[in-house]
Amino acid sequence: MLTSRIITAAVLVAIVLVCLLWLPTWAMAAAFGAAWTVGAWEWGRLVGLPGKIVWIYTALVAVLGAASASSLDAGADAAIAPLASGWWVIAFVGVVAYPWRVPSALVAVAGLLALVPSWLLLVSIHSSGARGPLVVLSLLCVVWAADVGAFFCGRTFGRVKLAPSVSPGKTWEGVLGGLAAATIVGGVAGMLLGQAAVAWALIALAAAVASIVGDLTVSLCKRRVGMKDSGHLLPGHGGILDRIDSLTAAVPVFWLGLSLAGLPA
């Protein structure tokens, strides 16, 4: 299981590097949009929709993303990021309060609020300047560090459950390890980009916290319908949504952090 997880992760990292560093923004947007569209299909299954309706839901997410991207500008970014970040605060409250009856309509709306803004803001960062692709890569490294740190620290030191009613396998020890790893990676990324390392470390910490909320929110949706993984497309990892759930929450918080700190992409 661990071997297949590592091999799949290595292949995914290679694909992501090509998309971020060698493709123009429109092609990167299309590649990531394809992944987000698969994530939308998986989210539709979490809603509990019938097969044909899942495809309609998927198309809706794709159309909303494409339509929004066609009219995206700096002013829209400044509105989308805080609104999307605010949604994840609400999601955090829902995770803490669980178990409670989660309506299907709320899960459907949550998918729109998670997937569309995160894709738009990733594309926006990528296109923001010469260093845009490196900033996106830095964000991904922060989220990956949080995930890897939490995985290994949780397996090694995990004792105290984080949210047993939502995700029984996650522990506070894993969370602390993931946050520490993400903060270090953020500080290093800031230095390599010639920006304030402390500011980057704090932004990375905030994004890592958000990434945990994103992960737990999808876990809540999966538990609601009795699913372990969102899909089976990625050996050792489950579905696409299982790989991007953390990122969907981290992106708006990261964008907002950079904006508030006055750090250009």
Rounded distance, CA 104 to CA 238, Å? 22
* pLDDT at residue 236, rounded to an integer: 62
Cβ(134)–Cβ(193) under 8 Å? yes
Is residue 17 predicted with pLDDT exceeding 90?
A: yes
Cβ(125)–Cβ(141) under 8 Å? no
Q: State which residues form the domain around 183.
A: 2-261
Q: What is the pLDDT of residues 115-143, one digit of tens each?
A: 999 999 999 999 988 899 999 999 999 99
Count up the domains in the chain and report the number: 1
Is residue 74 predicted with pLDDT exceeding 80?
A: no
For the segment 211-234, the average pLDDT, to the nearest whole number, is 88
Rounded distance, CA 26 to CA 69, Å? 10
Backbone angles phi, psi at 91, to 5 degrees: -60, -40
CA 242 to the chain's CA centroid: 9
Cα dihedral across residues 91, 94, 99, 100: positive or negative: negative
* pLDDT at residue 262, rounded to an integer: 83
